[in-house]
Amino acid sequence: MASAIIAGLIDGGHKPTTINVSDPSVEQLTRLQQQFGVLTSTDNLQAVADADVVVLAVKPQVLAQVATDLAAALQPEALVISIAAGIDCRSLSAWLGQGTAIVRCMPNTPALVNLGASGLYANPQTTAAQKVQAEAILAAVGIVVWLTDEDQLHAVTAVSGSGPAYFFLFMEAMIEVGVAQGLAPDLARSLTLQTALGASTLASNSEEGPDVLRQRVTSPNGTTEQAILSFERDDTRAVVKRAMAACAQRSVTLSEELGAK
């Protein structure tokens, strides 16, 4: 995700030398420096010393240690953007300092192709100008929506944060069945991926909702109707509801397990 954000910023006109990347892996830093021309360091404190905006793109399990170590090195007016799932602003403030401007972000992997969807929430210490900064950074890799309630990030995680995996699973199943029904694997893959892309693009460009688009392609007594009826008999909507509820609950649990005590 960090690589996607870096690429989006540079494509949007940011100079590589204004971006300082810190990582414990020298191999990773070398790759990023060669690919983007950014500044690199294995020292987090050095990387944030003069930064106006700090993006924490680390695993939730190590965020407490990383944030606590950074606290003394942050500029007083720095904005901190966290993309770690489940870690709330209360915990981040406890580790970074109570006056720190914080924006929590839940992005998703299509950011890698500039088609991401990010939900953002800003704590009260974040100024209007800093919100503009945060939005510009995440808008470089897709669409951005602002949330007024931090708890809504759990739902964003279930909808868009983890959502790409749901579609990938459905694509896997369609490809497998296409092959089982006699298509060559490459044909089944091409048809499935293009169908997914076409359906998404059509839905994005239409003034009608997905429900109307589905009804339009479902002719009475036709082939599509039989597939839809099968989905409905298997209570597909309930399956999706349970899956997304499990996802959101895991986001809540992470917050409880890894947040400041």
Coil, helix or strand at residue 95: helix
Q: Does 203 fall in a domain?
A: yes
CATH number of the domain encompassing residue 234 = 1.10.3730.10
In this predicted structure, the answer to whether residue 226 has a pLDDT above a threshold of 80 is: yes
Same domain, 59 and 93: yes
Between strands 116-122 and 142-146, the pairing is parallel
For residues 30 and 134, membership in a common domain is answered with yes
Please report whether residue 257 resides in a domain.
no
Distance of alpha carbon 84 from alpha carbon 105, whole angstroms: 8
- Residues 109 and 173 occupy one common structural domain: no
**Domain for residue 158, yes or no?**
no
User: Three-state DSSP class for 252?
Assistant: helix
Q: What angle do CA 91, 94, 99 make, to 5 degrees?
A: 115
- For residues 94 and 211, membership in a common domain is answered with no
The pair phi, psi for residue 139, each rounded to 5°, is -70, -15
161/108 Cα distance (integer angstroms): 5
Residues 113 and 179 in one domain: no
Backbone angles phi, psi at 117, to 5 degrees: -135, 120
What is the per-residue pLDDT across 80-95, written as a single tens digit (0 to 9) for each? 999 998 899 999 999 9
**Do the annotations mark residue 44 as ligand-binding?**
yes
Tokens 């964003």 correspond to 156
Q: Quick one: average pLDDT of 143-153?
A: 97
Residue at 261 is within a domain? no
Cα angle at 25 between 21 and 26, to 5 degrees? 80
% residues pLDDT > 90 (the chain): 97
**153, 171, 194 - which closes a domain:** 153
User: Where is the domain boundary, 153, 184, 216?
Assistant: 153
Same domain for 23 and 49, yes or no, is: yes
Query: At 99, is the pLDDT very low, low, confident or very high (cuts 50, 70, 90)?
Result: very high
**Which pLDDT tens digit goes with each residue over 186-222?**
999 999 999 999 999 999 999 999 999 999 999 999 9
Does a structural domain hold residue 259?
A: no
Q: Does the annotation list 59 as a binding residue? A: yes
Does residue 219 form part of some domain?
yes
Q: What pLDDT is attached to residue 63? A: 95
Query: Residues 127, 54: one domain?
Result: yes
Please check if 58 is assigned to a binding site. yes
CATH number at residue 78: 3.40.50.720
Question: How many of the other CB atoms lie within 10 Å of CB of 104?
Answer: 26
Distance between start and end Cα atoms, the chain: 28
Residue 99 lies in a domain: yes
Same-domain check for residues 99 and 228 = no
Task: Report the alpha-carbon distance of residue 130 to residue 127 in Å, rounded.
Answer: 5
Q: Which helix (H) or strand (E) holds 57?
A: none
How far is 12 from 142, CA to CA, in rounded Å? 12
Whether residues 139 and 171 fall in one domain:
no
Q: Where are the beta strands (DSSP E) in 74-210?
A: 79-82, 101-106, 116-122, 142-146
Has residue 102 been placed in a domain? yes
The last residue of one of the domains, among 135, 153, 171, is: 153
Residues 118 and 108: beta-carbon distance below 8 Å: yes
Residues 145 and 185 in one domain: no
Count up the domains in the chain and report the number. 2
**Shared domain check, 182 and 214:** yes
Asked whether residue 13 falls in the same domain as residue 139, the answer is yes
Asked if residue 164 belongs to a known ligand binding site, the reply is: no
What is the full DSSP assignment across 108-143?
-GGGGGT-EEEEEEE-TT--HHHHHHHHHHHHTTEE
Per the structure, the complete domain to which residue 230 belongs is given by: 163-252
Asked if 142 and 110 count as a contact pair (C-beta separation under 8 A), the reply is yes
**Confidence class for position 123, pLDDT limits 50, 70, 90:** very high
